[in-house]
Structure 1
């Protein structure tokens, strides 16, 4: 981030990356457009992107398709309702054609008639392509 008068000023690259971060998180929302939002991940991620889940378990590495499929099934199954996930303010670093976002996130959902909440940290890496910035990798760990 560029500092102007002691305040952070977002660059156009940072603004584009923030939009990708928001699109990534908003994909994980129940509702009638869940499939379309998850499908948008194919546009904002490189075809060879990896996503890694840790969460105190052995690391599980997904490619784009293996990441989307179980989330689509869960968000459209009716097993959970009112699921949403959102980023908290994070840090963006840009150098040339690579960038990184590091930040906290929250989530909440309804299952079995009870409200559940969670939080954790996510990291995302980005590369600039001829079509603009794309996610090249993401990893997360939930609070325990």
Structure 2
């Protein structure tokens, strides 16, 4: 692999992060966006939800419950987006730290939330991919 210039690496990582957040938007093409997560996660990626006892997920264990949530009709108008973030790159590893917000309608009421995510990435032959991610929602 030829080293990626730092500014190009950050642009590629930004696109991976954008794809990750974009998957969590209900409505048309939600299935395709969720399937697209497999393109930005390495197959062995570890995803951790914090708050109380941490819950760990593999790729499918993470995607499928969110598919159910976003397609079941239980919640509507769901979207999640990055508010602010920073990326550090060293060779073939990178770290993206960000805050995010989310909102949706459930039982006829608009709900809002926010939190922070830490995303670890590795450069592969196919480009930058998420190897691990953990998040903490505001309480």
**TM-score, length of structure 2 as denominator length:** 0.94
Find the aligned partners of 1:45 and 1:72 in 2 and give their Cα distance. Answer: 16
User: Is 2:107 aligned against 1:112?
Assistant: yes
**Which residue number corresponds to residue 3 of structure 2?**
none
Find the aligned partners of 1:72 and 1:24 in 2 and give their Cα distance. Answer: 14
**Which stretches in structure 2 are left out of the alignment for 5+ residues?**
1-5
Find the aligned partners of 1:38 and 1:51 in 2 and give their Cα distance. Answer: 15
**Which residue number corresponds to residue 8 of structure 2?**
12
Question: Of 64, 73, 77, which residue of structure 1 is paired with 2:72?
Answer: 77
**Which stretches in structure 1 are left out of the alignment for 5+ residues?**
1-9
Give the 4+ runs in structure 1 shifted more than 4 A. none
**TM-score, length of structure 1 as denominator length:** 0.91
Q: CA RMSD in A?
A: 0.8
Q: How many residues align?
A: 134
Find the aligned partners of 1:142 and 1:44 in 2 and give their Cα distance. Answer: 22
